Amino acid sequence: MANAKGQSSDLAKQEQRLAYWLLAPTFIILLAIAIYPLISVFGYSFTNATFASNKPTEFVGLDNYRNLLSMTIVQVPPLIDEATGQIQVDAETGEVQYESSVRALPREPVRFRVVTDFSLFGNKYVLGATDPAFIRAVWDTIVFGVSTVFLELVLGMMVALIVNANFKGRGFMRALILVPWVIPTAVSSQIWEYMFQPNRTGFFNTVLWYLGMGSGEIPFLSDPTWQLPAMIVIDVWKTTPFMALLLLAGLQLIPADIYEAADVDGAGPVRSFFQLTLPLLKGTIAVALVFRTLDALRVFDLFQIVLGQARYSMASFTYYELIQNRAMGYSSASSIMIFLVLSIFAIGYMRSLGVKSDDH
């Protein structure tokens, strides 16, 4: 008996060694195409390297990261009337008049530029940054990512539940919902850019004008107020089918007899959804959220095609710094920040949704 157990243990060890040998090429390829470039970018982020240039590269330490991330919040002082010594108030609106936000920000030893103004407890404040374009890009990318993923999850779940039902023409419907997803982003972006034209040649301005809800001249892609919502609409239209496809795959794995038993117990559709479907789809939802969030946070083509340099995502900002400014070290630091943001979201999803490894 002991001899048999020893032979079984030796066989298991041999199989383990064989598995390691078979996985070795995979790890080598992973090291070549993923880890090595990441280490290279990390190294360049501490230099002033210039792209496509013979200019000597120097070590600058954390300067690139300081320029990217340095921020300050300053209270903007109100304007004082020199004649009366009182705070100036607008005669028409009754609002307190303030100094220029630009003047309120420090210029030495580092110059801060305006990111945004805001009011709090009756006082006016200005958020400044050494690189306001990057701070706005990070904020816009996070808002874009969270908004699109949430809407795609909700709409994708609705679509998945509909096409998972048994009805005539279900196969055709499943194929039809994938049409937006299979259209290349470059093509769909151009289509939506035409639809968002700032006059009645655009689809949305024409519809809103006919409905009496606008002048027909809403600048969707040039007005900062409308730019981000327009990007969210485009991405939700294109990527909801992908989310629906992932959720549909999870729904297909749920045994039908569970719902039959719930129906016998008197559980309605709503109760079955929240007590059966959602818990059983937890793993699928986690995978879908991770895939879509990582994809949304590294969005490049949509912003680059539709908005160009009018508004950046983190990825398009990095591209601009590398190609237009040729600041290879600076863009490398920006790339590392994108990697950190993606990692934070991925780990957060895994922990909040309770996804565990096989060892736990």
Q: In a 3-state reduction of DSSP, which class is residue 1?
A: coil
pLDDT per position in the chain (360 positions), as tens?
A: 445 555 556 666 666 666 666 666 766 776 667 677 788 889 999 999 998 888 888 999 999 999 999 999 999 999 888 778 788 887 777 788 888 889 989 888 889 999 999 888 888 999 999 999 999 999 999 999 999 999 999 999 999 998 888 778 777 888 888 888 888 888 999 899 999 998 888 899 999 888 888 788 889 999 999 999 999 999 999 999 999 999 999 998 888 888 778 777 777 778 888 888 888 898 888 888 888 988 999 999 999 999 988 999 999 999 999 999 999 999 999 999 999 998 888 888 777 766 555 444
Terminal CA-CA length for the chain: 32
Burial annotation 133-152 (CB, 10 A radius, 16+ → b, else e): bbbbbbebbeebbebbbebb
Verify that 120 and 167 share a domain, yes or no. no
Q: Specify if 38 maps to a domain.
A: no
Number of domains in the chain: 2
pTM for this one? 0.84
Verify that 109 and 206 share a domain, yes or no. no
243-264 pLDDT per residue, tens: 999 999 999 888 888 877 877 7
Verify that 198 and 220 share a domain, yes or no. yes
Cβ contacts of 98 within 8 Å, gap of 6 or more = 76, 77, 78, 79, 124
Cβ contacts of 291 within 8 Å, gap of 6 or more = 246
According to the model, what pLDDT value does residue 360 have? 47
What is the distance, to the nearest Å, from the Cα of residue 188 to the centroid of all Cα atoms in its chain? 19
Q: Specify if 89 maps to a domain.
A: yes
Verify that 314 and 195 share a domain, yes or no. yes
64-80 pLDDT per residue, tens: 999 999 999 999 999 88
| Polymer length in residues for the chain | 360
Q: How far apart are CA 275 and CA 322, in angstroms?
A: 50
According to the model, what pLDDT value does residue 356 have? 54
121-130 pLDDT per residue, tens: 888 999 999 9
How far lies 32's CA from each of 26, 35, 43, in Å? 10, 6, 16
Q: Which of 164, 176, 161 is nearest to 278 (CA)?
A: 161
**Long-range residue pairs from 56-62, CB within 8 A, at least 24 positions apart, any chain:** 57/329, 60/329
What is the distance, to the nearest Å, from the Cα of residue 173 to the centroid of all Cα atoms in its chain? 29
Q: Specify if 114 maps to a domain.
A: yes
Q: Which of 153, 181, 137 is nearest to 278 (CA)?
A: 153
Q: Enumerate the β-bridge partners of residue 96.
A: 89
What's the alpha-carbon Rg for the chain, to the nearest Å? Answer: 27
Q: Specify if 247 maps to a domain.
A: yes
Q: Specify if 4 maps to a domain.
A: no
User: Which token pair is 311?
Assistant: 């508004």
Q: Specify if 52 maps to a domain.
A: no
Verify that 268 and 318 share a domain, yes or no. yes
CATH code for position 321: 1.10.3720.10
Verify that 337 and 214 share a domain, yes or no. yes
28-54 pLDDT per residue, tens: 776 667 677 788 889 999 999 998 888
According to the model, what pLDDT value does residue 348 have? 81
- The domain containing residue 307 runs over which residues? 133-352
Residue that finishes a domain, picked among 105, 129, 153? 129
DSSP-derived secondary structure for 111-175: --EEEEEEEETTEEEEEEESSHHHHHHHHHHHHHHHHHHHHHHHHHHHHHHHHHS--TTHHHHHH
Q: Which of 33, 137, 46, 34 is nearest to 328 (CA)?
A: 46
Cβ contacts of 327 within 8 Å, gap of 6 or more = 50, 51, 321
Is omega for the bond preceding 219 within 30 degrees of 0, making it cis? no
